[in-house]
Amino acid sequence: MTTLLNTMYTQITPEGIIDRYPNSYNHFVLPFVIGISFIIVYLLIGLIRILYHLTAEDRKKLLVSIFTPKTAVKNIKDIFCDCLIHTKIWKRKPLLGYMHSAIAFGWFMLIVLGHIEVALFAPRHLDSIADGALYYPIFYRFFIWMSPEHETLRGSLFFFLMDFFLLYVLSGIALAMYKRVRSIALGMRHTTKPSLADRVALYCLWAIFPLRLLAEGFTADLSGGSFLTRPLNWLFKSFFGNELNFLPTWWLYSICLGLFFLAMPFSRYMHILTEPMLILMRNAGLKVRKPRKGFAEAEIYACSSCGLCLDACPMNTQKKNLKYSSVYFIRFLRRHNEKKVKEIAEKCLMCGKCYALCPVGVNSPDIRRALRETSNTKLSYDYAPMDKFSLPVEGDQKADIMYFAGCMSHLTPKIIKSVTTVLESAGKKFIFADREGGICCGRPMLLAGRTEAAKELISKNKKMIMESGCKILLLSCPICYKVFKDDYDLKDIRILHYTQYMNELIEKGELKVTKGSLSMVYHDPCELGRGCGVYEEPRNVLKAIGELKKAEKERDESICCGGSLGSLTLDNKDRGKIAESSIDNLTAENPQSIVTACPLCYRSFREKSPIPVKDFAEVVCENIKSN
């Protein structure tokens, strides 16, 4: 102790803190300083790049949103909930949520508390880089000596909090290590294969906190400590005597930190820094315009490669198709592997489950769509013939309701017949927009990345609908519903899926139904559920007309039927396998029949299902109360 005090800079603060090193500098901080400087520069360049590639309009939007109080509050809330606590993971997989928040929130608190400590007890070190502002708060415990007589309550509280959060982080790290061995214990069936940079960063991350514990344990008698570091210090002393040879652990601690920051941009851990930026941009309402630049780049680098999308992806029924999951898509985008990126982009069913379950909220389906756009949008098309003559529109031309069946419903006549029967029994007059066929809604073209062509189809349909003078546009296909809702801008016309409309009719008493004994399970079609958030209305109706059973996974976790128009290249065999797994998921509680509300799901299930598959309108139709 005395030897140490000789070299000390003797300025005792009221709290009894003394700087042990005159310049507050030791060579061991170098690796950390190099690492942190590198990451700061890298991040700044990245930020400028992303902002540069945003359109001027988007930049303005971003700026306005950051300074709008409402979005600013939302930004702070989202950053706190999504980046630190990760409420999204907590909700679905509590243990995994604990693991992540222990590491993220714990580490964050260590940094924040460390800085507060310095600000309170040695504020001059935060003044400038020359005073060690970059590293001093991180290695605070190394640089000070605290006279035990001067220990205050305030000081002890910080010692306790620092030890507490270190323990919190360590518990998370222990879980993370266990997860590497047995991921299923934390609720993950599939995990990603880590790349080299991932491994370097991962092992550094694992090492950082145990090393910190060791390092602070060595110095606990000099710089203070609490329930964790003090006993450790006592233990070290009884083993190593009074020898204070602790510098190597501080070196190692610094090296691990430095290496971690150096590997960071090339590893999955980049998400720690990019996720807040993504949240700001998303809350500003930005959308993917180009598949790699601007907003998309922020999304790509915000992917934490956690692999939760592997369990979510309907492709996971076959191991060979796991490679089409979003996590690999984004990894190949980062590596600029054009061939693989294109293949994955075209294969995807665009069911949106990876996006719904992504803890970071990376909208990879939209990036895929943008990627398809680059290769498909320049293909020529000719929709002039659609103006030459208009198809006969049937029904009562003065009716308020226009029913647009859509292309696919024409291959499932039962749906059309049931919808029209229900409308008639409710005494509703309607215009049948496309009994003889009509212009496609444009959603398939959008999904294929042929945006210009889609826009032309949309404008033609829009004209037809606006001219009809209807007040409600009724749809039986979720694919149509999604595009009419999102991309049409039909002014005052209410756009309703038939599940919503029939629910309304029943609630208003305009349609009377009886409760039957059929037990059913409801399948949430991707475009209706995840796409438009319609979950409750169909369930309300089904509960009124029969016994509704639960699927193993439902609502936003529902599994695609495999028939999605979103995929451009998936073959029938693989689609069939996906349908089978979706049916297995639905029949967990042995229902008598599967009910869905989409012509595509209806067709895919009917090919494979061992139990009857019915359309939503069909079961409603079967249960209409006859007068």
* Given 338, 396, 424, 436, the residue binding other proteins (CB under 8 A): 436
Closest approach, Cβ 563 to other proteins, in A, equals 8
What's the sign of the alpha-carbon dihedral 469, 472, 473, 476? negative
606 lines the binding site for other proteins (CB under 8 A): yes
Q: Which amino acid is at 571?
A: D
Part of the chain binding other proteins (CB under 8 A), chosen from 142-150, 199-207, 258-266, 431-439: 431-439
Which residues, numbered 397-416, are part of the site for other proteins (CB under 8 A)? 407-408, 410-414, 416
Q: Which amino acid is at 44?
A: L
Choose between 84 and 386: whose C-beta lies nearer to other proteins: 386
Interacting residues of 439 by C-beta distance below 8 A, sequence separation 6+: 386, 457, 460, 461, 464
Part of the chain binding other proteins (CB under 8 A), chosen from 50-58, 121-129, 242-250, 561-569: 561-569
- Residue 307 tokens read as 């692999």
Choose between 56 and 384: whose C-beta lies nearer to other proteins: 384
Choose between 69 and 392: whose C-beta lies nearer to other proteins: 392
504 lines the binding site for other proteins (CB under 8 A): no
- Residue 429 tokens read as 């007059």
Say how many residues touch other proteins, by CB under 8 A: 45
Neighbours of 572 (CB within 10 A): 11
Choose between 224 and 566: whose C-beta lies nearer to other proteins: 566
CB 209 within 8 A of CB 174: no
Choose between 74 and 435: whose C-beta lies nearer to other proteins: 435
Neighbours of 610 (CB within 10 A): 8
* Given 81, 134, 167, 568, the residue binding other proteins (CB under 8 A): 568
Choose between 249 and 567: whose C-beta lies nearer to other proteins: 567
CB 270 within 8 A of CB 300: no
Count Cβ neighbours within 10 Å for each residue of 84-110 and write b for 16 or more, e otherwise: bbbebbbeebeebbbbbbbbbbbbbbb
CA distance 142 to 370: 51
Count Cβ neighbours within 10 Å for each residue of 21-51 and write b for 16 or more, e otherwise: eeebebebbebbbebbeebeebbeebeeebb
Closest approach, Cβ 445 to other proteins, in A, equals 5
Closest approach, Cβ 287 to other proteins, in A, equals 22
Choose between 91 and 378: whose C-beta lies nearer to other proteins: 378
Choose between 186 and 617: whose C-beta lies nearer to other proteins: 617
Burial of 392 (0-12, 13-18, 19+ CB in 10 A): exposed
300 lines the binding site for other proteins (CB under 8 A): no
Closest approach, Cβ 455 to other proteins, in A, equals 13
Closest approach, Cβ 561 to other proteins, in A, equals 13
Part of the chain binding other proteins (CB under 8 A), chosen from 321-329, 467-475, 546-554, 569-577: 569-577
Closest approach, Cβ 470 to other proteins, in A, equals 19
Choose between 136 and 324: whose C-beta lies nearer to other proteins: 324
User: Which among 70, 51, 39, 41 has a CA at the least distance from the CA of 277?
Assistant: 51
Residue 389 phi, psi (nearest 5): -145, 150
Closest approach, Cβ 578 to other proteins, in A, equals 15
CA distance 545 to 161: 57
Which residues, numbered 507-526, are part of the site for other proteins (CB under 8 A)? none
- Residue 37 tokens read as 């400087």
Choose between 221 and 346: whose C-beta lies nearer to other proteins: 346
Eight-class DSSP state of 624: B
CB 24 within 8 A of CB 132: yes
Closest approach, Cβ 418 to other proteins, in A, equals 9
Question: Do β-strands 394-395 and 144-146 pair in parallel, antiparallel, or remain unpaired?
Answer: unpaired
340 lines the binding site for other proteins (CB under 8 A): no
Q: Which residues pair with 547 in a beta bridge?
A: 519
448 lines the binding site for other proteins (CB under 8 A): yes
Which residues, numbered 351-390, are part of the site for other proteins (CB under 8 A)? 375-376, 379-383, 385-386, 388-389
Choose between 68 and 609: whose C-beta lies nearer to other proteins: 609
Choose between 441 and 548: whose C-beta lies nearer to other proteins: 441
Burial of 465 (0-12, 13-18, 19+ CB in 10 A): buried
Choose between 94 and 437: whose C-beta lies nearer to other proteins: 437
Residues written for the chain: 627
Closest approach, Cβ 423 to other proteins, in A, equals 14
Residue 562 phi, psi (nearest 5): 95, -15
Closest approach, Cβ 519 to other proteins, in A, equals 22
440 lines the binding site for other proteins (CB under 8 A): yes
CB 267 within 8 A of CB 70: no
Closest approach, Cβ 508 to other proteins, in A, equals 27
343 lines the binding site for other proteins (CB under 8 A): no
* Given 15, 394, 547, 622, the residue binding other proteins (CB under 8 A): 394
CA distances from 126 to 134, 136, 532 (A): 8, 8, 50
CA distance 403 to 548: 28
CA distance 85 to 74: 15
Positions touching other proteins (CB under 8 A) are 346, 375-376, 379-383, 385-386, 388-389, 391, 394, 407-408, 410-414, 416-417, 435-440, 442, 444-445, 448, 450, 453, 457, 565, 568-569, 571-572, 602-603, 606-607
